[in-house]
């Protein structure tokens, strides 16, 4: 599907939001699709909700759609339970404009991509280095910790008053995409923005506890099963974890309860690359990758049509679990020994 002619694209690789260009498109729009990536995480969901509320405050008709289950831990965010899947979406007038958040390529939108046509005017807001620049306006700030941080800058620039609910949404977006303010992407400005959001009266401890420290018994059982199968390779430089459908069944857990398991791989001394293999079905495997010490896992993931950040990426292999493990481990070993 051809979405936008190359000659119409405007790219902004900058910290400051391109207010005029974005605002002009929004002003002319009638029906706006607001969408983020499939299998929504905190940044995807928080920003999708915040942008939708902002547009509605301007009197715009907003269509939201998701591809994937919204993890229960985000249910406290206002509006989180009101985003339909593509299949649940009610018919609406033709969408003329789309704001796509945190998607380095349009395929990451998932089933919502079916709502786009070659006439759809796309505003692409992202912080991934490998963004395909597929919109009419592309604001790509690779120095931002999260799209949540970017949206705060935009809202501040247009004098939009961030209320309590929007502050919770943006704070959750930033908190989760910085790994609780642990990643190198966390800057002085990131913390300043977080402080301003807390200043609206939100409960930062409640948000952190709800997202990270309010696990179901099934989550703990699943954690034990996955960690019990931990493996190390290349003199402990590679740490690999595996999640099978059988484990999910035995733990009576939902797939979203494995969110964040990949982080365990880098808790180990000497590990440079962490891999988390997730069985989807008999012929499909998803892989989350993490790294440190200068290893670009986004480049590895891109070999399979995936991507992400230098130290955090993901991809899907059209291979059974064991074959996918063999293939990915072979490539990572070659990178480490190259």
The Cα–Cα gap between 181 and 194 comes to 10
Measured CA angle at 263 (ends 70, 140), to 5 deg:
65
**Residue 152: Cβ-neighbour burial (10 angstroms; 0-12, 13-18, 19+):** buried
What single DSSP character describes residue 196?
H
Answer whether 113's CB lies under 8 Å from 35's CB: no
Please give the model's pTM, rounded to 2 decimal places.
Answer: 0.91
pLDDT at 9: 78
Question: Domain for residue 197, yes or no?
Answer: yes
Q: What gap in Å lies between CA 324 and CA 29, rounded to an integer? A: 44
| Distance separating alpha carbons of residues 218 and 73, to the nearest angstrom | 14
**What DSSP string runs through 170-194?**
HHHHHHHHTTTTTSTT--HHHHHHH
Question: Concatenated DSSP letters for 202-241?
Answer: --HHHHHHHHHS---HHHHHHHHHHHHT-EEETTTTEEEE
Residues 230 and 332 in one domain: yes
Question: Residue 100 maps to which CATH number?
Answer: 3.90.1640.10
Residue 21 lies in a domain: yes
Nearest to 80 by CA among 107, 53, 111: 53
pLDDT, one tens digit per residue, over 4-41 is 444 467 888 888 999 999 999 999 999 999 999 999 99
pLDDT value at position 92?
Answer: 75
Mean pLDDT value across residues 48-73? 96
Total count of residues recorded for the chain: 338
Predicted pLDDT at 15 = 86
Residue 177 reports pLDDT greater than 80 = yes
Structural domains of the chain, count: 2
Task: Output the domain CATH number for residue 228.
Answer: 3.10.310.30
- 185: Cα separation from own chain's centroid: 15
Q: For residue 260, what is the enclosing H or E element?
A: none
pLDDT-wise least confident of 178-182, 242-246, 303-307: 303-307
pLDDT at residue number 338: 81
Write down the mean pLDDT value for the chain. 94
Same domain, 238 and 195: no
Query: Which of 176, 191, 211 is the C-terminal boundary of a domain?
Result: 211
Q: Which residue segment(s) compose the domain that 308 sits in?
A: 217-337
């Amino acid at each position: 599907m051809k979405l936008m002619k190359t000659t119409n694209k405007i790219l902004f690789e900058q910290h400051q939001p391109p207010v005029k260009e974005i605002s002009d498109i929004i002003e002319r729009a009638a029906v706006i699709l607001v969408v983020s990536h499939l299998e929504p995480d905190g940044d995807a969901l928080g920003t999708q909700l915040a942008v939708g509320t902002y547009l509605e405050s301007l009197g715009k008709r907003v269509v939201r759609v998701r591809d994937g289950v919204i993890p229960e831990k985000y249910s406290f965010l206002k509006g989180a339970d009101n985003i339909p899947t593509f299949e649940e979406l009610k018919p609406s007038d033709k969408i003329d404009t789309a704001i796509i958040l945190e998607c380095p390529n349009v395929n990451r939108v998932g089933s919502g991509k079916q709502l786009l046509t070659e006439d759809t005017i796309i505003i692409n807001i992202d912080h991934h280095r490998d963004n395909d620049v597929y919109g009419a306006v592309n604001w790509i700030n690779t120095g931002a910790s999260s799209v949540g941080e970017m949206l705060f800058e935009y809202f501040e620039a247009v004098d939009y008053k961030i209320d309590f609910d929007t502050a919770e949404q943006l704070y959750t977006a930033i908190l989760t995409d910085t790994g609780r303010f642990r990643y190198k992407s966390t800057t002085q400005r990131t913390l300043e923005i977080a402080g301003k959001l807390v200043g609206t009266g939100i409960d930062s401890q409640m948000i952190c506890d709800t997202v990270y420290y309010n696990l179901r018994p099934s989550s703990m059982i699943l954690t034990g099963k996955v960690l019990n199968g931990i493996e190390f390779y290349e003199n402990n430089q590679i740490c690999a974890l595996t999640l099978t459908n059988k484990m999910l069944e035995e733990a009576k857990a939902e797939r979203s309860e494995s969110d964040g398991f990949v982080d365990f791989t880098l808790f180990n001394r000497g590990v440079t690359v962490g891999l988390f293999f997730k069985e989807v079905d008999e012929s499909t495997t998803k892989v989350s990758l993490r790294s440190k010490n200068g290893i670009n896992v986004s480049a590895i993931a891109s070999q399979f049509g995936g991507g992400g950040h230098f130290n955090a990426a993901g991809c899907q292999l059209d291979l059974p679990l064991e074959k996918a493990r063999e293939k990915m481990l072979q490539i990572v070993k070659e990178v480490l020994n190259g």
